[in-house]
Amino acid sequence: MEIIEKKQNDILIFRLNGRLDSNTSPGLEEKIFEAIESGSYKMIIDFEALDYISSAGLRVLNKSIKRLKHNEGMLILCSMQDYIKEVFEIAGFDSFLTIVSTVDEALTKL
């Protein structure tokens, strides 16, 4: 999986390309936690180019949002394919993660 990051004012945008699975999830966790350590507390993760997620990916997002909330930060997910969004719904993750349609929409919420 490729992770592209961009800073827009005080908001950090991660764009994921490929698969968020047992092998690639630790890499995303490292990136997110590094960013939190260096003081970024507002994040968007763009799922447009992501075509796979497993529970390993969900676990990283769960850990990240817990940590960000602890710092009064925020994480917004956007541009998910329908079949990936369905996994968030089945897992009940849509109840505590904000999921919106586009990056622009995510930016208005931060």
Q: How far is the CB of 50 from another protein (least distance, A)?
A: 11
Q: How far is CA 98 from CA 45, 71, 76, 105, in A?
A: 11, 17, 5, 11
Q: Which is nearer to another protein, 14 or 88 (CB)?
A: 88
Min CB(24)–another protein separation in Å: 10
Phi and psi for 100 in degrees, rounded to 5? -125, 175
Query: Per the structure block, which two tokens stand in for 96?
Result: 């505590």
Q: Kindly tell me which of 3 and 107 has the beta carbon lying closer to another protein.
A: 3
The pair of three-digit structure tokens given for residue 90, joined into one six-digit string: 């089945």
By CB under 8 A, name the binding residues for another protein: 21-23, 51-56, 58-59, 62, 65-66, 69, 82-84, 87, 90-92, 95-96
Q: Give min distance, CB of 104 to another protein, in A.
A: 26
Q: Measured between alpha carbons, how far is 81 from 26 in angstroms, rounded to an integer?
A: 22
**Complex with another protein: residue 23 or 101, whichever CB lies closer:** 23
